[in-house]
């Protein structure tokens, strides 16, 4: 029999997708003989509490929500040596995408029932955990627009946010300090500190990033015309935007970011802090179930 699980569900995730998927997930877990209990939450703090309780009881904390709640729960699990299971229930689901966890309910539940454990890195932004990408600048505006809009649903909401943000964008000056040694300053669009290759529903902002190398890939999008930026935007879905002369990529265990004007840093689709901020990787801190 599979290890018992606590299914932590955010019913509002993915514009209600998680609530729709829940009955299918329950049925699939029963067919797979996974003992489980369901806990509904819309609060990150409550989700963290539930993850801690699950770990203390020797249960897998299975999150049916988006990457934001997965990241919040992951921080508790890393601290307590808990085990994470993922059922994609958000708009982007990039953590599942990178780990190869199926988006269909049956396939994802099969990973919870019979997957193998893998240790992956956990990002840290000023003491706040995240699983994917922490980004700032142009991305701050795009994320804010994506989170507020009701006009577009699904993963396309992030592309919509980027197009809307581009129309009003004015370049900013960013300053980076890499591993407390190398200092980089540039004028442009954004800085993305990537623990994982993808964000925004399949945008491979840092195509060479790895989830278990103990490092952060720092992608700097420098000065370019709006026309050039618009031309490069579709290339983010394949990762080919890094070939542009205006994009530079660094790799470090830690990066400190500041800017000449205020910005909110977003990670896993949610606001996580304000500049200046230091981002780092906690090497192999998180246990997660992945396909065998």
pLDDT given for residue 153 in this prediction: 62
- Give, as one character, the DSSP assignment of residue 33: T
Q: Residue 191 corresponds to which tokens in the numbers above?
A: 């800085």
Between 230 and 45, the more confident residue is: 45
Structure tokens at 246: 């205006």
Closest CA relative to residue 63, chosen from 95, 34, 85: 85
Taking each helix axis from N to C end, the angle separating 67-80 and 44-56, rounded to the nearest 10 degrees, works out to 40
- Say yes or no to pLDDT of 158 above 80: no
Residues designated as active site: 270
Question: Would you say residue 13 has pLDDT above 80?
Answer: yes
The predicted pLDDT at position 40 comes to: 95
* Overall average pLDDT of the 278-289 stretch: 98
pLDDT for residue 252 is more than 80 = yes
Give the mean model confidence (pLDDT) for residues 36-55: 95
What is the pLDDT, as a whole number, of residue 155?
60
Q: What is the pLDDT of residues 147-156, one digit of tens each?
A: 888 776 666 7
pLDDT recorded at residue 260: 96
Percent of the chain whose predicted confidence (pLDDT) is above 90: 80
160-187 b/e (C-beta count within 10 Å ≥ 16 → b): bbbebbbeebeebebbbbbeeeeeeebe
Of 211 and 92, the structure prediction assigns the larger pLDDT to 211
Rounded Cα–Cα distance for residues 253 and 238 (Å):
25
Q: What's the token pair of residue 284?
A: 């192999």
How far apart, in whole angstroms, are the C-alpha atoms of residue 174 and residue 184?
Answer: 8
Distance from C-alpha of 77 to C-alpha of 164, rounded to nearest angstrom: 36
Rounded to two decimals, the pTM is: 0.92
> In degrees to the nearest 10, what's the CA dihedral of 208, 211, 212, 218?
50
Q: What is the mean pLDDT of residues 67-91?
A: 95
E strands, 27-104, are: 36-40, 60-65, 83-88
Q: Average pLDDT of 158-172? A: 87
Please tell me the predicted confidence (pLDDT) of residue 149: 80
Percent of the chain with pLDDT over 70: 98
Instruction: Look at the block and give the residue holding tokens 């770990």.
Output: 55
> What is the per-residue pLDDT across 95-130, written as a single tens digit (0 to 9) for each?
999 999 999 999 999 999 999 999 999 999 999 999
Angle ∠(222,258,159) on CA atoms, nearest 5: 50
Mean pLDDT of 61-86: 96
């Amino acid at each position: 029999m599979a290890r018992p699980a606590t299914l932590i569900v955010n019913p509002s995730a993915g514009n209600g997708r998680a609530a729709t998927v829940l009955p299918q997930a329950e049925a699939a877990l029963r067919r797979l003989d996974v003992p489980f209990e369901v806990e509904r939450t819309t609060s990150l703090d409550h989700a963290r509490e539930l993850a801690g309780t699950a770990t203390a009881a020797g249960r897998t904390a299975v999150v049916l929500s988006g990457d934001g709640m997965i990241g919040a729960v992951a921080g508790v699990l890393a601290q307590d040596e808990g085990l994470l299971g993922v059922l994609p229930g958000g708009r982007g689901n990039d953590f599942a995408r990178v780990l190869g966890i199926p988006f269909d309910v049956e396939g994802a539940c099969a990973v919870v029932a019979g997957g193998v454990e893998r240790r992956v890195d956990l990002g840290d932004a000023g003491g706040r955990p995240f699983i994917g990408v922490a980004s700032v600048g142009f991305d701050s505006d795009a994320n804010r627009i994506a989170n507020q809009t009701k006009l577009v649903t699904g993963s396309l909401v992030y592309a919509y946010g980027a197009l809307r943000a581009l129309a009003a964008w004015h370049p900013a000056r960013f300053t980076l300090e890499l591993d407390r040694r190398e200092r980089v300053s540039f004028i442009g669009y954004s800085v993305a500190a990537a623990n994982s290759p993808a964000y925004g529903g399949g945008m491979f902002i840092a195509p060479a990033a790895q989830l278990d190398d103990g490092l952060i890939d720092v992608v700097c999008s420098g000065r370019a015309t709006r026309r050039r930026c618009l031309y490069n935007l579709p290339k983010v879905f394949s990762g080919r935007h890094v070939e542009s002369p205006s994009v530079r990529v660094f790799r470090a265990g830690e990066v400190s970011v500041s800017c000449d004007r205020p910005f909110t840093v977003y990670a896993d689709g949610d606001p996580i802090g304000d500049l200046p901020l230091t981002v780092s990787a906690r090497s192999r801190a998180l246990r997660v179930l992945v396909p065998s």
